[in-house]
Structure 1
């Protein structure tokens, strides 16, 4: 799995960091992906982060 963020959509709400703090770090206006290819132990947290992103700026790419 790979995580991608559309920085044009991201507004830095921080929902992703609340759901997966080991993977995301939110800033004032955007998010930083700390681990763009997390292992399967983080998949549930990442899926919740993508689902709850208010601007739908995140997506999971299956490889």
Structure 2
């Protein structure tokens, strides 16, 4: 695969794991706007990056 696709896949997986980890740890963190924005940023990044990866992985006709 192309390096760009590899980068997107690795980034997507890393952000995905971080978002779930942060979601679990969020109950121990005092709920604040900053914490929520932090989680939203990771979750949105995961969705965007995953869409880019799937677009790159689609087989050419």
Q: Normalising by structure 1, report the TM-score.
A: 0.34
**Structure ranking higher in strand proportion:** 1
Tell me which of the two structures has the higher relative contact order, counting C-alpha pairs closer than 8 angstroms and 6 or more residues apart. Answer: 2
Of structures 1 and 2, the larger Rg is shown by 2
What's the TM-score once normalised by structure 2's chain length? Answer: 0.35
